[in-house]
Amino acid sequence: MAKLTEEMKDVLKIVGKGGAVVHLTTCSADGVPNIVAERFVTHYKDEYILIGEMFAQKTKVNLNENEVGCISIAHPVKGHTWVFRGPCTIISHAAPANYKWHGIKAGEVLAEWGEWATKEPPDEVPPDIAPPKLAQRGVIALKVEEVYSYNPEEAGKRIL
């Protein structure tokens, strides 16, 4: 288990609030990776990262068969060359409120982050890339077990 630093928490929020767009990587059980950019991101408590689940397709299939993910800082980077890796899942809006996953409760997560587009609307996103409508289906949760650097000169070096 890794505990996020305050600097990491400052970066793990939506870009409109000074955070960063991230890439989420998942993988099928037979080894085909999938990587997509995500805007709706936040840290949660000291060791989790949450992403709004709105249009995930392959990500969902992958997490249903292989519960692991990586989150890498994509834009703006500003020297934050981090990859967060650990168990990853989707907490669906259909999940019972008392469903527990790696120490977090579905009801608590969804009460705070289940209506993300209302809480943090994508006002900074240009119209040619913003979706016309947002329909959140749940929250993607990653429990941070390790953080490593993607700086090319120290790639893979463990930070946490």
The residues of the shown chain that bind another protein, judged by CB under 8 A, are 15, 21, 23, 25-37, 39, 54-55, 57-58, 62, 66, 68-70, 72, 74-77, 81, 83, 85, 125-126, 128-134, 150, 152-157
* Smallest separation (angstroms) from another protein to the CB of 14: 12
Query: And the tokens for 52?
Result: 């709004």
What would you report as the CA-atom Rg of the chain, rounded to the nearest whole angstrom? 15
> Distance between CA 159 and CA 47 in Å, rounded?
14
Q: Does 127 sit behind a cis peptide bond, omega within 30 degrees of 0 on the bond before it?
A: no
* Smallest separation (angstroms) from another protein to the CB of 99: 24
Cβ distance to another protein smaller for residue 6 or 78: 78
* Smallest separation (angstroms) from another protein to the CB of 11: 14
Cβ distance to another protein smaller for residue 83 or 95: 83
> Distance between CA 89 and CA 52 in Å, rounded?
12
* Smallest separation (angstroms) from another protein to the CB of 107: 26
Cβ distance to another protein smaller for residue 5 or 66: 66
Label residue 106 exposed, middle or buried (CB < 10 Å: 0-12, 13-18, 19+). buried
* Smallest separation (angstroms) from another protein to the CB of 136: 12
Residue 150 near residue 159, CB atoms below 8 Å: no
Cβ distance to another protein smaller for residue 75 or 100: 75
φ, ψ for residue 65, nearest 5 deg? -115, -10
Cβ distance to another protein smaller for residue 13 or 105: 13
Give the number of other Cβ atoms within 10 Å of residue 48's Cβ.
Answer: 21
